[in-house]
Structure formats: C-alpha cells, structure tokens
Amino acid sequence: MQQEAHTIIQTLKSKGLRVTPQRFAVYANLLSRSDHPTVETILADLNKDFPVSSQATIYSSLQALREVGLVQEVLLEEGVCRYDANVEPHHHFCCRRCGAIEDIAWETFQCVDMKSLRPGMRGESYEVIVRGWCERCEIAT
C-alpha cells in the first residue's frame, strides 16, 4: 500500500497538481475500482468510516483530476455522470437490468472510418456503448 500511495502522489505531482488528502483519496478510490462510480458513490465510499469529505470537495477534486487527464467523465445514461480512472481509449458495456458497467477493450471493434462521414463533418473521436444483459441477469431471466 505504501508503494501504491507513493505512485499516486508522484502521478499527481507529475501532472502539476497539489497533493491534497481529498485529491489523493478520490484518485486512489477511482484507481481501485472498475464500476464507473457517480460522485455520490465516491462520497459514500470515502465517508464510510467517518465523514471527511463533502460533495463539493469530491466535485472539485474530480474536476482537477479531469483537467490534467487522470480521470474521464463517462456519460452512459442521461443525467448521470460517472467517473473512470482508465483514461486509455476503450468502450463500455451497460447491463439494462442491473446497471453494471464494464470496460470493453478498444481493439474489440473494428476501427470506425471517420472519413466516411458526410462532407462538412469532421469527427475527432468515438466510443461504442454496448447495451444488453450481463451474465448474472441473463441467467436470471
């Protein structure tokens, strides 16, 4: 754990961020999970033992981390912003029943040819979102 803490501190510093306990905690929390949590989920997780963070603090920490490219916002459903420390290109799978979210490797899908867009459109990036049922929910039906 001490090595992981040192790595997180060095990563934050390398991006020019001041290392605050809140930024450290938020980034460490996101690095430890793959479920793409909301601000509310992160807040509940960090305040599990005793209240130390507010929603505003979580938002400002996430904003700072996002601005330097350590975290990305993931918008998979209307009105719900989730966060992901995996900033490498990847796609997402969303279970329609339980809401589970899972990363899908970028290489899973053939490259989309942005040159095929109609004249006047210039694409910069894309992401595939696969919606369906995870193995737990598929079995339950």
**Each residue's pLDDT expressed in tens, for the chain with a length of 141 residues:** 577 999 999 999 999 999 999 999 999 999 999 999 999 999 999 998 777 789 999 999 999 999 999 999 999 888 899 999 999 999 999 999 998 999 999 999 877 788 889 999 988 888 899 999 999 897 766
Inter-residue contact 109 to 91 (CB < 8 Å): yes
Residue 73: strand pairing partners = 83
**Tally of CB atoms within 10 A around 12:** 20
Inter-residue contact 112 to 126 (CB < 8 Å): yes
DSSP 137: H
On whether the pTM is more than 0.75, the answer is: yes
Residues sharing a CB contact under 8 Å with residue 77, sequence separation 6 or more, in sequence order? 94
